[in-house]
């Protein structure tokens, strides 16, 4: 009987199991009060640094993170100042987040605060610092075992990019076989070629904005240009790229997946272990699978993210969660045996998680996505529950709150950090073992202590799955972990007999006020408190 037991039966069984387990420490056998003090194995187990592509990423929006020179704009030296917060280099120190990968938002010279319209692919925007600053950041990260991927915008340039300026000059002079070949022009204005080239009878493609002309990605010259750009940043030491807007590679001139495959092979040919994660924001699974077939390591799992995504759905009714997670993970690995799912809740294009859910759900959601196979991507501030009300992009990218009693001066398009940290800033949450920050810290440590979670293959445990609980096993290189989420307000007693000699490896508690109740394992009987996620490991 693998499913939930009735309370009385459970109590009776627990008592008998406790009585039978003479080797348990007397502390754990005592009253329910003493059980609540059972040590969390997460703090006593050693965590090992990752040396492969499987990482817990932290997305840093540079301009909002930390300002080193008091110009109200976050910058690269500011990130270096805060690296001890992201990862101090010691996976067992317990006072840093522990993320072992960083995704840097766009940093190349650009006329906007978001810098997705790149003017110069070979430099750092002066708002953010210099190439020397960037080299220092890379070295500091690598010394700590942290990889760095940079946001690379290949779909479009900034309208002030030298090549687009030259292209428009030539178009106006009647020349279409020079720089014009780098972009997409037409004499017919339509849904694709929307924007007029002033002083000519041509129009150009700029799918997002007239200041973002789409590159012609099928032109050899464009490919040579980006090959040089990729090599420039790989030579500096970046570990990979977050590729913007890969869905839009496909257009009149270009077969998107064909370009993606060329791009990935080109970069991998230059740096064997380059990591790439693409933004293909779609609900169409077949598009995702087609993109995975190009060889790209990861594509963000938008289907599970954001309001209405599978993680949020699971936080209230989890019944189908393990089945869906297994199906998605199996499918992407069928299309690319090296696929690494890229799990996240929100990013810079979504409303702040803290604005969409209650605190308990923040913690439960963190456990749901970080205990799923693949890489995790945590948007800066998500780990402290930043909340903002506005719907515009600028409200999604407000300042990181290091100390809620001493708010940063950083402004994002004029919006500051007032009232955005109702759970407290980093300073307030670091020493509170029940804080959201410490839930994230624990989850990253659990991912390092149990390498199976990120790297293995998932099998749902159908017998556990109901509206309260979901369970799954992850197999990796002959080793197995089992993960169970209880999203309900009910404490549970479960029998764990689908793995041998289960060992409790850690848990996270989402419910406020329930910190005194711990998950406990006696033999094969698991006490799983309300709103708790546990990790168990098989001992052979």
Q: Is 435 in the site for Ca ion (CB under 5 A)?
A: no
Cα angle, residue 278 at apex, residues 78 and 125 outer, rounded to 5°: 30
Question: Which C-beta is closer to Ca ion: that of 151 or that of 251?
Answer: 251
Interface with Ca ion, residue 75, by CB under 5 A: yes
* Closer residue to Ca ion in complex, CB, 119/214: 214
Query: Please, which residues have CB within 8 angstroms of residue 286's CB and are 6 or more apart in sequence?
Result: none
How many CB atoms sit inside 10 A of residue 200's CB?
17
Report in angstroms how near the CB of residue 214 gets to Ca ion at its nearest: 4
Give 331-394 as a DSSP string: HHHHH-TT---EEES--TTS--HHHHS-HHHHHHHHHHHHTSSSEEEEETTGGGT------SGG
Site string for Ca ion, 51-70 (x = CB under 5 A): ----------------x-x-
Cα gap 540→537, rounded to integer Å: 10
**How many angstroms separate the CA atoms of 281 and 279, rounded?**
6
Q: Which is nearer to Ca ion, 247 or 363 (CB)?
A: 247
Smallest gap from residue 187 Cβ to Ca ion (A): 19
Element (H, E) at 533: strand 532-538
What string of DSSP letters covers 226-266? HHHHHHHHHHHT--EEEETTGGGG-SSS--HHHHHHHHHHH
With contacts defined by CB under 5 A, name the span among 80-88, 213-221, 275-283, 529-537 that binds Ca ion: 213-221
Q: Are 65 and 379 in contact (CB under 8 A)?
A: no
Residue 214 lies near Ca ion (rule: CB under 5 A): yes
In this complex, which beta carbon is closest to Ca ion, that of residue 75 or of residue 520? 75
The two structure tokens encoding residue 400: 């990181």
Least gap, CB of 249 to Ca ion (angstroms): 6
Beta-bridge partners for 480:
475
248 near Ca ion (CB under 5 A): yes
Tell me the closest approach of the beta carbon of residue 68 to Ca ion, in angstroms: 6
Task: Answer yes or no: are the C-beta atoms of 410 and 429 closer than 8 Å.
Answer: no
The alpha carbon dihedral of 306, 308, 309, 311 has a sign of positive
- Give the number of residues in contact with Ca ion, rule: CB under 5 A: 9
Element (H, E) at 535: strand 532-538
The window from 52-60, 152-160, 278-286, 358-366 that contacts Ca ion (CB under 5 A) reads 152-160
Q: Which two tokens stand for residue 196?
A: 């007029």
User: In the bound complex, what is the minimum distance in angstroms from residue 410's beta carbon to Ca ion?
Assistant: 8
Annotate each residue in 113-132 with x if it binds Ca ion (CB under 5 A) or - if it does not, as one string.
--------------------
Question: Does residue 251 bind Ca ion (CB under 5 A)?
Answer: yes
Q: Which is nearer to Ca ion, 214 or 310 (CB)?
A: 214
Taking CB under 5 A as the binding criterion, the range among 75-83, 347-355, 357-365, 443-451 that sits at the site for Ca ion is: 75-83
Cβ burial of 393 (10 Å; 0-12, 13-18, 19+) is middle
| Least Å from the CB of residue 76 to Ca ion | 9
Q: How far is the CB of 217 from Ca ion (least distance, A)?
A: 7
- H or E element at residue 502: strand 502-509
Q: Is residue 222 near Ca ion by the rule CB under 5 A?
A: no
> Of 64 and 274, which CB lies nearer to Ca ion in the complex structure?
64
Q: How far is the CB of 215 from Ca ion (least distance, A)?
A: 7
- For the chain, the straight-line distance linking the first and the last C-alpha, in angstroms and rounded, comes to 22
Shortest distance, position 146 Cβ to Ca ion, whole Å: 22
* Minimum CB–partner distance for residue 1 and Ca ion (Å): 56
Closest CA relative to residue 78, chosen from 103, 60, 59: 60
Q: Which is nearer to Ca ion, 129 or 373 (CB)?
A: 129
* Residues 368, 378 contacting (CB under 8 angstroms): no
Q: How far is the CB of 106 from Ca ion (least distance, A)?
A: 16
**389 near Ca ion, judged by CB under 5 A:** no
CB of 288 to Ca ion, least distance (A): 18
Does 79 sit near Ca ion (CB under 5 A)? no
Residues in the chain: 540
Please identify which residue in 18, 42, 73, 97 interacts with Ca ion, judged by CB under 5 A. Answer: 73
Q: How far is the CB of 248 from Ca ion (least distance, A)?
A: 4
155 binds Ca ion (CB under 5 A): yes
Residue 147 vs 410, nearer CB to Ca ion: 410
CB of 75 or CB of 387, closer to Ca ion: 75
CA-based Rg of the chain, rounded to a whole angstrom? Answer: 25
Q: At what angle do helices 220-236 and 256-270 cross, to 10 degrees?
A: 40
**409 interacts with Ca ion by CB under 5 A:** no
Closer to Ca ion by Cβ: residue 163 or 507: 163
Give the nearer residue to Ca ion in terms of CB position, either 144 or 247. Answer: 247
Options 106-114, 210-218, 280-288, 531-539: segment touching Ca ion (CB under 5 A): 210-218
Residue 414, φ and ψ in degrees, nearest 5: 90, -5
Would you say 37 or 69 has its CB closer to Ca ion?
A: 69
* C-beta separation of 60 from 79 below 8 A: yes
- Residue in 126, 127, 148, 122 with CA at minimum distance from that of residue 137: 148
State the SS3 of 292-324.
Answer: HCCCCCEEECHHHCCCCCHHHHHHHCCCCHHHH
Closer residue to Ca ion, CB minimum distance, 79 or 494: 79
Binding site residues, Ca ion, CB under 5 A: 67, 69, 71, 73, 75, 155, 214, 248, 251
């Amino acid at each position: 009987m693998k499913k939930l037991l009735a309370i009385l039966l459970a109590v009776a069984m627990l008592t008998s199991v406790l009585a039978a387990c003479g080797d348990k420490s007397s502390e754990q056998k005592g009253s329910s009060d003493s059980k609540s003090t059972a040590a969390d194995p997460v703090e006593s187990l050693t965590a090992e640094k990752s040396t492969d592509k499987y990482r817990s990423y932290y997305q840093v929006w540079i301009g909002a993170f930390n300002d080193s020179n008091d110009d109200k704009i976050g910058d690269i030296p500011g990130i270096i100042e805060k690296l001890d917060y992201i990862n101090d280099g010691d996976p067992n120190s317990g006072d840093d987040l522990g993320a072992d990968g960083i995704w840097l938002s766009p940093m190349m010279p650009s006329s906007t605060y978001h810098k997705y319209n790149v003017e110069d692919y070979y430099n750092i925007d002066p708002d953010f610092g210099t190439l020397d600053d960037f080299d220092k950041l890379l070295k500091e990260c690598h010394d700590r075992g942290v990889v760095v991927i940079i946001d690379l915008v290949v779909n479009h340039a900034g309208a002030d990019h030298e090549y687009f300026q030259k292209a428009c000059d030539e178009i106006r002079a009647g020349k279409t076989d020079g720089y014009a070949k780098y972009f997409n022009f037409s004499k017919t204005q339509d849904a694709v070629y929307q924007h007029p080239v002033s002083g000519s009878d041509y129009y150009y493609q700029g799918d997002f904005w007239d200041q973002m002309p789409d590159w012609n990605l099928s032109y050899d010259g464009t490919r040579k240009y980006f090959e040089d750009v990729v090599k420039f940043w790989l030579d500096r030491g970046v570990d990979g790229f977050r590729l913007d807007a890969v869905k839009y590679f496909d257009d009149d001139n270009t077969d998107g997946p064909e370009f993606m495959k060329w791009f990935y092979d080109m970069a991998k040919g230059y740096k064997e272990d380059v990591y790439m994660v693409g933004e293909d924001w779609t609900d169409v699974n077949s598009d995702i699978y087609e993109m995975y077939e190009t060889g790209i390591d990861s594509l963000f799992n938008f289907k599970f993210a954001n309001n209405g995504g599978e993680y949020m759905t699971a936080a209230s009714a989890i019944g189908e969660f393990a089945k869906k997670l297994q199906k998605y993970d199996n499918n992407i690995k069928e299309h690319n045996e090296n696929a690494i799912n890229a799990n996240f809740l929100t990013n810079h294009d979504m409303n702040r998680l803290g604005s969409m859910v209650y605190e308990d759900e923040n913690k439960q959601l963190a456990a749901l996505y970080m205990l799923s196979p693949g890489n995790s991507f945590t948007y800066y501030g998500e780990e402290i529950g930043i909340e903002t009300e506005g719907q515009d992009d600028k409200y999604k990218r407000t300042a990181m709150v290091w100390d809620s009693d001493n708010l940063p001066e950083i402004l994002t398009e004029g919006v500051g950090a007032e009232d955005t940290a109702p759970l407290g800033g980093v300073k307030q949450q670091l020493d509170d073992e029940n804080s959201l920050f410490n839930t994230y810290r624990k989850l990253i440590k659990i991912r390092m202590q149990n390498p199976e979670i990120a790297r293995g293959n998932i099998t749902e445990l159908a017998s556990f799955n109901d509206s309260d609980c979901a369970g799954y096993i992850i197999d990796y290189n002959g080793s197995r972990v089992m993960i169970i989420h209880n999203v309900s307000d009910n404490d549970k007693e479960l029998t764990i007999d689908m793995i041998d000699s289960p060992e409790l490896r850690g848990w996270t508690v989402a419910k406020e006020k329930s910190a005194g109740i711990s998950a406990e394992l006696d033999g094969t009987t698991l006490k799983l408190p309300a709103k708790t996620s546990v990790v168990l490991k098989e001992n052979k």
